A and B are shown apart, each in its own frame.
Chain A
Amino acid sequence: MTSHAAPPPAYGHLCWVYDDPAALDSRAVAFLGAGLAAGERVWLAAAGTHAALARRLDGLPGLGNALRRGAARIVSVDDAYRIDEIVDPEIQVRAYAAATEDALAAGYTGFRVVAEATSLVRTPAQRDAFARYEHLIDRYMRTRPMSAICAYDRRELAGPAIAELACMHADSNADVLFHLHAAAPGDGAFALAGELDPSVHRLFAAALDRVDPRPVDGRLLIDGNRLRFIDHGSLIELDEHARRRGATAVLRTSRSAAARLAELLDLPDVRVEVTR
C-alpha cells in the first residue's frame, strides 16, 4: 500500500484503493467483522468464484456460521453482470436499499458491504454511470443504516479513472484533492471537502454533473464545512452550474477567502456564507 486509510467518516462510505489484494482482504475482514459484531448483515461483493471470495475472508472469525445463518453473504459480481456492462445507477441503488431493508426486517441492526468494483468501471461510460451510482448510494447511506467500502484495484485502473470514483466519496485513501459527497440531511444538496483548484477543474465539473443536485426553493445549498480551499475557477464553475439549473448556489464554509473571492468576481449565481 502506498497510502494510509483516511479517518472513517461519520457515516461509512469509504473509497479504498489498493495494489495489494492481501491488504484489501485484511481491511475487509476488519470492516465486516466489526459489522457482524454490531449485529449487522454483511456482504462481500467482488469478481471471482464463491469459493475464492470466501477464502479472502478466511481471517473473519465465525465466517462459516455467519454464512450459514445468512448474516454474511458472498456475492460474485461475475454472476450479476456481463463483462463491460454499464450499471444502471438507480437500479443498483434500489438493489442495495432492498438488501438493507431486508436485513433490518430480518432483525439485523444494519447492512454493510465491501464491494470490489474494478470490473464495473473499466470504460469511461461505465465510470460515468458508476460515479453517479456512487453518489446516489452515498445519499442513501446518509439516511439509512448501510455502510460500505468501495474498493478499486490501482494495478488495473489509471490514476485519473480512480480519481473520478474516489472524489464521489466522503473519504478515500486515494490521492485526490477534493471529495464531493452527500450532505447530512438538512445540511444541503451536497457537501464539498478538501481543495478545489485548476488541477481538478474538469473532475469537479464532471462530478457536479453526475451528482446533478436538485435546487430547493431556488437554492443549491452546499455544505463546505470540510472545504479547505476553492479557487476562482471552481467558483465560476459553481456559478455556471447553478445558473443552468435556474438556482443560486449557496456555499457555506469557514474559509472567508472564498467569500472575498466571490465578491471580487461578482458572480450572480453564487453566494458564499462564512460560518465560524
Chain B
Amino acid sequence: MRTGAAAGHTGYYHEAILYDSDEHLLAVVLPFLLGGVEAGEPTLVGFGERNAELVRRALPAHSGVTFLPGGNVYARPTSAIRSYRKLLAEHVAEGAPQVRIVGELPTSAFGATWDWWARYESAINHAYDDFPLWSICAYNTRVAPEPVLADVARTHPRVAGPDGSHVPIGVYTEARSYLSEPRPMLLDPVQRTAPLVELTDPTPAQARAAVYAADRGQLPADDVEDLVVAVSETVTNALRHGLPPTRMRLWAGADRIVVAVSDGGDGPKDPFAGLLPATSASAGGLGMWISHQSCNHVALHRGPDAFTVRLTAGNPHFPV
C-alpha cells in the first residue's frame, strides 16, 4: 500500500517544490520524509551539500532517512536515469511498496546545459513510471531563472505546497509532446570562431581521427576518448539513419572541445532518444544513449534543413 499524497496512484508521482525560503522548503520536505519513514518506505534525499545539511539538522537524530552521496548523480541526465532506475529496482525487489525521494539539481544545471536537464525532467515521467516512486524536485525560485521555472512547470504534473497541498500544474505537458517540440540550441561562444575541422560525409574512422588530431592536451585523456566514442556513434547514426550530407565541425576552446554533427534528416523519431536506451538497436538509439553518457553536454536541434547533435567534452558551462 502506498501512503501519503501518492496513495492509490500507480507508477510515478512526480512533484516540484517551488520554494523561496528555507522555511518553505522544510515545510514541504520534513513531513514528506518523516511520513515515508513512518510508513516503512525507503526515504531518500538527493540534495547538494547546503540543503542536505539544512534537512539533516531539522530531522530528529537517527531519523531513518537516507542521504544519497552528493557528487555525480546529477552530472549527466542519462546517467542519473540509469542509476535511479537501478536503485528503484533494488528497492522494489526488496518489497518496498513505495520509494520516496526528494532531490535538487546543482545550480550549474540552470545555464548552458539546462536544455538536457529540462528533457530529463520531462523524460522521467515516463522513465520512472514503472516504479511506485513519489519524488519531489526542489527548485529555488530566487535562484532558478525564469525560463528554467517555465520548463519546470511544464515537466512536473504537480507542485507540493508548504500547506500540505499537492496542486496539479495546468501547463504540465505530457513527455512525448514536450520532448517532440523544437528546442533552440544556445550557441557556444567557440562556435562563433572558425571550426578547426570541417568534414563532409566523413567515415566514422575519419571523424575519430579528427578528434584525436584536435586534442591539444587541454582535456584529460579519458575525456578525449569518451568524446571519440560519442563522435563515432553520432557520425554513424547520421550516415545510417539521417539524410545526406553529414557534416562534422569541431571547435577547440581552452577548456573544451565541441563537435557538431548534422545531417539533412529530421533526427530520431523516438522522443526519449539519448535519455533512454532504444528498444531496437536498428534505430541507432543505443549510440545516442551512449553519447549522452560520454559527454558533459549533448544538445539536439531540429532546424529547417538539418538535424544537429552538438557534443561537448570538458567544461560545457559557457555564460548564457
Q: Does A231 contact B (CB under 8 A)?
A: yes
| Distance of A229 Cα from B209 Cα, bound (Å) | 11
A231 is contacted by which of B82, B203, B233 (Cβ under 8 Å)? B233
Task: Please report which residues of chain A, range 254-269, place their CB below 8 angstroms from some CB of chain B when the two chains form the complex.
Answer: 255-257, 260-261, 264
Question: In the bound complex, how far is the Cα of B204 from the Cα of A264, in angstroms?
Answer: 21
A177 to B232 alpha-carbon distance, docked (Å): 14
State the main secondary structure of chain B at its contact with A.
helix
B211 to chain A, nearest CB (A): 11
Q: A260-B226, A261-B290 are in contact. Are A195 and B236 (CB under 8 A)?
A: no
Q: What are 23 A-B pairs with beta-carbon distances under 8 A?
A: A177-B205, A195-B205, A197-B204, A197-B208, A199-B205, A229-B208, A229-B232, A232-B233, A232-B287, A232-B290, A233-B281, A255-B225, A256-B221, A256-B222, A256-B225, A257-B222, A257-B226, A257-B229, A257-B294, A260-B226, A261-B290, A264-B82, A264-B290
**A199 vs B202: C-alpha distance when bound (angstroms):** 12
11 extra interface residue pairs, beta carbon distance < 8 Å, beyond A199-B205, A232-B233: A198-B204, A199-B204, A231-B204, A231-B229, A231-B232, A232-B286, A232-B290, A255-B225, A256-B221, A256-B222, A264-B82
Question: Which residues from B are CB-within-8-Å of A177?
Answer: 205
B88 within 8 A of A: no
Complex alpha-carbon distance, A231 and B233, angstroms:
8
Write out the residue numbers on chain B whose beta carbons fall within 8 Å of the beta carbon of A264. Answer: 82, 290, 293
B82: chain A residues within 8 A (beta carbon): 264
User: Closest approach, in angstroms, between the C-beta of A93 and any C-beta of chain B?
Assistant: 33
A232 to B204, CA, bound (A): 13
- Those of A211-265 within 8 Å (CB) of chain B: 229, 231-233, 255-257, 260-261, 264
Contact with A along B265-295 (1 / 0, CB 8 A): 0000000000000000100001100100110
* Chain B residues whose CB sits within 8 angstroms of the CB of A261 once the complex forms: 229, 290
What residues on A are CB-neighbors of B240 within 8 Å?
A: 198
B228 within 8 A of A: yes
Chain B residues with CB under 8 A of A198: 204, 236, 240
Q: Is the CB of A199 within 8 A of B229?
A: no
Find chain A residues with CB under 8 A from B228 CB: 229, 257
Residues of A within 8 A of B293 (CB): 264
Give the size range of B's interface with the partner. Answer: 20 to 34
How far is it, in angstroms, between the C-alpha of A256 and the C-alpha of B223 when the chains are bound? 10
When distances are taken between beta carbons in the complex, the residues of chain A under 8 Å from B286 are: 232
Interface, chain A (partner B; CB < 8 A): 177, 195, 197-199, 229, 231-233, 255-257, 260-261, 264
What are the residues of chain B within 8 A of A233 when measuring CB–CB?
281
* A5-B294 Cα distance, complex, nearest whole Å: 35
CB pair B229 A197 closer than 8 Å: no
Expressed in whole angstroms, the minimum distance between the Cβ of A202 and any Cβ of chain B is 14
Q: Which residue of A lies closest to B229 (CB)?
A: A257
> Which residue of chain A has its CB nearest to the CB of B230?
A257
Are the CB atoms of A199 and B203 closer together than 8 Å? Answer: yes
* B229 partner residues in chain A, CB cutoff 8 A: 231, 257, 261
Q: Is the CB of A197 within 8 A of B226?
A: no
A246 to chain B, nearest CB (A): 24
A260: chain B residues within 8 A (beta carbon): 226, 294
- B197-245: which have CB < 8 Å to A? 203-205, 208, 221-222, 225-226, 228-229, 232-233, 236, 240
Whole-angstrom CA separation of A238 from B159 in the bound complex: 48
CB of B222, distance to nearest CB on chain A (Å): 5
- Roughly how many angstroms separate A177 CA and B208 CA in the complex, as a whole number? 12
A231 vs chain B, min Cβ distance (A): 6
